[in-house]
Amino acid sequence: MVAKIIDGKEVAAKVREDCRQRVEALGAFGTRPGLAVIIVGDNPASKVYVANKAKACSEVGLNSKVHAFPAETEEAEVLRLIDTLNHDPSIHGILVQLPLPPNYNVRRILETISRDKDVDGFHLYNVGALAVGSSIFPPCTPYGVSKILEHEHIEVAGQNVVVVGASNIVGKPMALMLMQKDATVCICHAKTRDLAQFTILADILVVAAGRPNLILPQMVKTGAAVIDVGINRLPNGDLVGDVDFDGVSQKASHITPVPGGVGPMTVTMLIENTVQAAERFVGIKG
């Protein structure tokens, strides 16, 4: 079997087009969705992510504003800005780029964001809402994976799903979302013994560990859909996922490439969440 290679850029373009139309419709209410992005310090990867988010937002017609602080900024100053943004009617979404400087209390920062503007979905309210299946802003990366599965008409209900990786931003919310869609979900992590005995059972295998070549063909069931969230930079400069793409694509039914698979969906779902926040603000969505 040779897998269908899922084009994440194509799925992202469809979602962005839908967002563009919703942004236009919001114009009738005199509202343009606004996203504020806060970055503290000069982590090079974070700077690239923030620039990409701002660019993608403006392409869809959102208003985005980046607030960049030097690493030595007091946490209190960032908390004051979040409070101001919480009350700013032109801002519908607030995102704090992680990681923050080590002396910051990340939970306190995230809990200060209004839950109505928490477009990254990291506020405890939204985390809890996801656990009981009434999430307003699902975290962007697993939300993007859900959209990919939907777009590819990959049935989730009743399927065996194995999620490799149990982080708060990808693995755990991914597992919750797919459980909500009636999959039978198993979560594996770095302490899982004999990973292959779990992955081989998966009809849908989602991998988010940050380990190149973690998933080899013999660990994958023939015909499984394999979603590779991992992003790893090899010493030679190549960007790869966590899955042995060449080997596994001979066995799976579907596979996402890296780059060009899940990556383009993450920023797209941030746009979608911000549009949704603006729709809730004007009262056209509950």
Q: How far is the CB of 145 from ligand NAD (least distance, A)?
A: 9
Site for ligand NAD in 16-75 (CB under 6 A): none
- 224, 246 Cβ separation under 8 angstroms: no
Find the binder of ligand NAD among 104, 230, 243, 273 (CB under 6 A): 230
Q: How far is Cα 41 from Cα 64, in angstroms, rounded to an integer? A: 19
Q: Which two tokens stand for residue 161?
A: 């799903």
Length, in residues, of the chain: 286
Q: Which of 164, 178, 240, 243 binds ligand NAD (CB under 6 A)?
A: 164
Task: Tell me the C-alpha distance between 164 and 132, whole Å.
Answer: 22
Q: Which stretch binds ligand NAD (CB under 6 A): 50-58, 107-115, 174-182, 190-198?
A: 190-198
Q: Which of residues 130-159 bind ligand NAD (CB under 6 A)?
A: 141
Q: Which is nearer to ligand NAD, 242 or 279 (CB)?
A: 242
Q: Are 126 and 135 in contact (CB under 8 A)?
A: yes
Q: How far is the CB of 12 from ligand NAD (least distance, A)?
A: 11
SS3 63: strand
Which one of 18, 47, 88, 97 is the catalytic residue? 97
Exactly one of 171, 173, 253, 274 binds ligand NAD (CB under 6 A); that residue is 171
Task: Tell me, yes or no, if 191 is annotated catalytic.
Answer: no
Determine if 8 is a binding residue for ligand NAD (CB under 6 A).
Answer: no
Catalytic: which of 21, 83, 118, 120? Answer: 120
Q: How far is the CB of 236 from ligand NAD (least distance, A)?
A: 17
Is 53 marked active-site? yes
Query: Cβ 229 to ligand NAD, closest distance in Å?
Result: 5
Cα separation of 119 and 134, whole Å?
15
Site string for ligand NAD, 205-224 (x = CB under 6 A): ---xxxx--x----------
Contact assessment for residue 215 and residue 232, using Cβ atoms and an 8 Å cutoff: no
- Annotation marks residue 120 as catalytic: yes
260 CB neighbour count, 10 Å cutoff: 16
For the chain, percent helix, then strand, then coil, each to nearest 5?
Answer: 40, 15, 45
Regarding beta strands 225-228 and 254-255, do their DSSP bridges make them parallel or antiparallel, or are they unpaired?
parallel
Q: How far is CA 94 from CA 8, 167, 272, 275, in A?
A: 25, 21, 13, 12
Residues near ligand NAD (CB under 6 A), total: 25
DSSP output for 230-247? --EE-TTS-EE-SB-HHH
| Catalytic site positions | 53, 97, 120
Using CB under 6 A as the criterion, which residues of the chain lie in contact with ligand NAD when the complex forms? Answer: 141, 164-167, 169-171, 188-190, 192, 195, 208-211, 214, 229-232, 262-263, 266
